[in-house]
Structure 1
Amino acid sequence: MEKFKQILPGFISCLLIAVVAQFVGEFIPQLGSAFIAIILGIVLGNTLLDHPRLGVGVKFSESKLLEISIALTGVTLNLQDVMSIGWQGILFIMIQMTLTILFVYQLGKMLQFDKSFSLLMCAGNAVCGSSAIGTVAPIIEANEKDKGISITTVNLTGTVLMMVLPILTSWFYHHQTLATGAMIGGTLQSIGQVVAAGKLVNDDVTQMATIFKILRVVFLVAVAFAFSRMNLAEGQSLFEKNKQQKSMTKQAGVPWFIIVFFICSIFVTFIVLPTVIPHTAKAVSNQLEVIALAGIGMRVKFSDLIKEGPKSMLYGLLTGTGQVFLAVILIRLLLL
């Protein structure tokens, strides 16, 4: 009950923003309720609704509701839909993630950041934002300061790209579904940002981008294992190293909503459900998405941008630019 009381104020704030966004979206369909929810969230989250009491509920709305939304999406997609990205799409994600990690790590060394902070930036940008940072931080024994600054920098980078990528993809690919989905799902830092950017284009791109992003999240286990090898103490015996690797990698399990997504996709591939079930799942998923997008907007704080200073922001800016540049090349080579 105490936890519920903490969540309620922030959740209600996000819910009200979502309701207003959908109402306004009916009159301005060119903008759409998703974009309006994000903008209202950013504006109100930095003015009238900038209150610590709302933090728990806003975070719940941004993360948990979005996770449920993604899990429900599995009911509307069978395995054929999920695998529509093809082997080229899987290869694109693998190369994009690998090159992002190498690029971000070298960039961190050039900017004279320490190894721990650079690895956190690698994980956050290559995989899934603050969730990946939270998973990798104990594995590489990162301190709380590096963890906090990297989460802020990655989230701000993703927020900027979230607004910019729908514009860039309209120029580059005229919003062609596969290429646009690959760019958004293959570069943006968090799942929420992927959904938000996709919604600024159309539902087909949102679905495709989410599939690309889910594949990146699945690879979190491999990234955690690689990082654990980089951080093992040289003085350990082979037995101790293997034991530590198993323990560290176990911490980086695939998130529950990704597992549920795939279970649902497998189920609907072989079992024909009454149309009311996928339609209801999609409707609920869409409603939860708009509430979550309001939460994403509210968690973007202008004060964070000022606080972290120019060097961290430069790191984020160069990282985001490099990710987009790599994705453009790989999409041209593999998907177009």
Structure 2
Amino acid sequence: MNKRFNNFIDKGFEILPGLLISIIVAYISIALSKFLPKLGASSISIFLGMALGNTCLHKKSFQKGYKFAETDLLAYSIVLLGGTLSVSTILNLGLSGIAFIVCQMSVTIFAALMIGKKLGFSDNFRFLMASGNAVCGSSAIGATAPAINATDDEKGISIAIVNVTGVILMISLPLISGLLYNHETFKTSAMIGGILQSVGQVVASGAMVNDSVKDLSSIFKIVRIILLVVVVLFLETLKNKKTNKDNNINPKKKKFNIPWYVIGFFITCALFSFNIIPVSLSKSFKVLSNNLEIIALAAIGLRVNFKELIKHGKSVSLYGLFIGIIQILSAITLIGIFL
């Protein structure tokens, strides 16, 4: 008993330095986001983390704390996020709105997988780019990474590229929707909520148009987040099939494991949908989930290796650019069909 307790204390001390740094970087990012609202705390957090992690905060003694923050805290954030989403939210969009989202996500996933394959990226990296762009950016990548056994570099680089792409699109989409739809609420909201990666980017981009677009685009985004479980399980199944084929393993002998945080997300979403989780508690979940995500993003940034990013810089940037272009073209086409 004493040995276990001592091990727990030792592990805590090993984690503490990196965890504290991640928290400090996160709250500095939150403070800076008040002056840079269009960029948002999530984007600031990862970029500030990357800058500090590759200069003065890259000590080996910090790494265990960084890893705890980026894995455990992000997992808790995903579970709490489920407690802020209700299945009834889908009904506000109607069948045409839901069909648009499902088709847009499907095109994004297919495009990310195919383009990544053409550019020669690993299966894991392609899967992370698919989930990050199709669902909810960093949170989706964080949920997918352990399910497919992605490396830290694959996760860090994919999050960095998805965030960079998201910031560019966040500024561009209000301009594009203004030219195409004259900022008509439903179509503009569908474009912004159906393309942008993070919730913060959706809110910021929608707010550049008006409050109605901000609110409705957030609902489109929420529908994508609700489908996070489906996307993670789909990509995990693809990875398992590929692994089984490469290693000549009989798929029937491969145990299908559902990550605990995916189950937790589904449970909290169901509890909120049936009003078991009250609205007051859901609001607390939202605040805590957001803060944990920002801390996790800071840690991810602190662990990103610039040398590895530069090594793949040109091809990775093209990858993100191509996905973004296809997302825009797909959204324009699907809005014309469904909306």
The answer on 1:19 being equivalent to 2:31 is: no
The residue that corresponds to 2:168 in the other structure is 164
> Compared with structure 1, are the counterparts of its residues 131 and 281 closer, same or farther at alpha carbon in structure 2 (3 Å cutoff)?
closer
Contact 1:149 1:308 in 2 (8 A): no
The residue that corresponds to 1:191 in the other structure is none
The residue that corresponds to 1:53 in the other structure is 61
> Compared with structure 1, are the counterparts of its residues 229 and 94 closer, same or farther at alpha carbon in structure 2 (3 Å cutoff)?
farther
Give RMSD over aligned pairs: 3.9
The answer on 1:278 being equivalent to 2:282 is: yes
The answer on 1:261 being equivalent to 2:272 is: no
> Compared with structure 1, are the counterparts of its residues 181 and 100 closer, same or farther at alpha carbon in structure 2 (3 Å cutoff)?
closer
Q: CA deviation at 1:272?
A: 8.0
Q: Which runs of 5+ in 2 are unaligned?
A: 1-7, 132-139, 178-182, 208-213
| Counterpart Cα distance in 2 of 1:74 and 1:110 | 35
Aligned residue runs from structure 1 range 79-98, under 5 A: 79-98=87-106
| Counterpart Cα distance in 1 of 2:247 and 2:49 | 50
Contact 2:54 2:302 in 1 (8 A): yes
Letter in 1 for 2:141: G
Q: CA deviation at 1:180?
A: 1.7
Contact 2:190 2:335 in 1 (8 A): no
> Compared with structure 1, are the counterparts of its residues 266 and 104 closer, same or farther at alpha carbon in structure 2 (3 Å cutoff)?
closer
**Equivalent of residue 41 in structure 1, options 49, 57, 60:** 49
- With normalisation by structure 2, the TM-score equals 0.70
| Counterpart Cα distance in 1 of 2:117 and 2:29 | 43
Q: CA deviation at 1:100?
A: 3.8
Letter in 2 for 1:155: I
Q: How many residues align?
A: 307
Letter in 2 for 1:267: F
The superposition leaves residues 114-158 of structure 1 with CA deviations (integer Å, 9 ceiling, x where unpaired) of: xxx554344222224365354346xxxxxx8xx677545533421
The superposition leaves residues 44-69 of structure 1 with CA deviations (integer Å, 9 ceiling, x where unpaired) of: 23322233332332333334333333
The answer on 1:212 being equivalent to 2:221 is: no
Letter in 1 for 2:308: D
Contact 2:86 2:270 in 1 (8 A): no
Q: CA deviation at 1:235?
A: 12
> Compared with structure 1, are the counterparts of its residues 218 and 75 closer, same or farther at alpha carbon in structure 2 (3 Å cutoff)?
same
> Compared with structure 1, are the counterparts of its residues 79 and 129 closer, same or farther at alpha carbon in structure 2 (3 Å cutoff)?
closer
Identity of aligned residues (%): 29
Deviates more, 1:46-55 or 1:201-210: 201-210
Q: CA deviation at 1:110?
A: 4.1
Q: CA deviation at 1:215?
A: 0.6
Q: CA deviation at 1:248?
A: 5.2
The superposition leaves residues 167-200 of structure 1 with CA deviations (integer Å, 9 ceiling, x where unpaired) of: 122223469544322212xxx4xxxxx2453464
The answer on 1:243 being equivalent to 2:243 is: no
Contact 2:40 2:201 in 1 (8 A): no
Letter in 2 for 1:65: L
| Counterpart Cα distance in 1 of 2:141 and 2:223 | 16
| Counterpart Cα distance in 1 of 2:305 and 2:315 | 18
Q: CA deviation at 1:166?
A: 1.3
Q: Which runs of 5+ in 1 are unaligned?
A: 138-143, 189-193
